[in-house]
Chain A
Amino acid sequence: DTAVSQTPKYLVTQMGNDKSIKCEQNLGHDTMYWYKQDSKKFLKIMFSYNNKELIINETVPNRFSPKSPDKAHLNLHINSLELGDSAVYFCASSQDDVSYEQYFGPGTRLTVT
Chain B
Amino acid sequence: RKEVEQDPGPFNVPEGATVAFNCTYSNSASQSFFWYRQDCRKEPKLLMSVYSSGNEDGRFTAQLNRASQYISLLIRDSKLSDSATYLCVVMVGTGGFKTIFGAGTRLFVKA
Q: How far is the CA of A107 from the CA of B91 in the complex (A)?
A: 22
Q: How far is the CA of A90 from the CA of B91 in the complex (A)?
A: 18
Q: How far is the CA of A107 from the CA of B96 in the complex (A)?
A: 24
B43 touches A104 (CB 8 A): yes
B99 touches A105 (CB 8 A): no
Residues of B within 8 A of A50 (CB): 96
A100 touches B49 (CB 8 A): yes
Contact of B96 among A56, A100, A105 (CB under 8 A): A56
Q: How far is the CB of B9 from chain A (nearest CB, A)?
A: 11
Residues of A within 8 A of B46 (CB): 100-102
Q: Is B45 an interface residue (CB 8 A)?
A: yes
Q: How far is the CA of A43 from the CA of B34 in the complex (A)?
A: 14
Query: Per-position contact with B for A23-58: 1 when CB-CB < 8 Å, else 0?
Result: 000000000010100001111110010100001100
Q: How far is the CB of A46 from chain B (nearest CB, A)?
A: 11
Q: How far is the CA of A33 from the CA of B93 in the complex (A)?
A: 16
Q: Is the interface of B mostly helix, strand, loop or mixed?
A: strand
Query: Per-position contact with A for B87-111: 1 when CB-CB < 8 Å, else 0?
Result: 1000101001111110110000000
Residues of B within 8 A of A107 (CB): 42-43
Q: Is A82 an interface residue (CB 8 A)?
A: no
Q: How many residues of A contact B (CB 8 A)?
A: 22
Q: Is B44 an interface residue (CB 8 A)?
A: yes
Residues of A within 8 A of B103 (CB): 40-42
Residues of A within 8 A of B34 (CB): 100
Closest to B93 in A: A98
Residues of B within 8 A of A42 (CB): 101, 103
Residues of B within 8 A of A43 (CB): 44, 87, 101, 104
Contact of A41 among B85, B98, B99, B100 (CB under 8 A): B85
Q: How far is the CA of A97 from the CA of B43 in the complex (A)?
A: 20
Residues of B in contact with A (beta carbons under 8 Å apart): 32, 34, 42-46, 49, 85, 87, 91, 93, 96-101, 103-104
- 30 A-B pairs, CB-CB below 8 angstroms? A33-B99, A40-B103, A41-B85, A41-B103, A41-B104, A42-B101, A43-B87, A45-B98, A45-B99, A45-B100, A45-B101, A50-B96, A55-B96, A56-B98, A90-B44, A97-B96, A98-B93, A98-B97, A100-B34, A100-B46, A100-B49, A100-B91, A101-B46, A104-B43, A104-B44, A104-B45, A105-B43, A106-B42, A107-B42, A107-B43
